Amino acid sequence: MMKKLKTKTRRLKEQPLRKRRLQRRLRMPRKPQRPQK
């Protein structure tokens, strides 16, 4: 039981990290960076 719970927590922790990375890419648009150059 303990081992199963550990794997579940690991999977849950990994998913939010991936979602946050995707949100960061969407929040940082590349268009505004081109004119500044």
* DSSP notation for 1-37: -HHHHHHHHHHHHHHHHHHHHHHHHHHS-STTHHHH-
CA distance 37 to 33: 7
Tokens of 19: 């979602």
Contacts for 22-30: CB closer than 8 Å, 24+ residues apart? none
Model-wide pTM > 0.75: no
Q: What is the pLDDT of residues 1-37, one digit of tens each?
A: 566 666 666 666 666 666 666 666 666 666 666 665 5
Vertex 9, ends 19 and 15: CA angle to 5°? 10
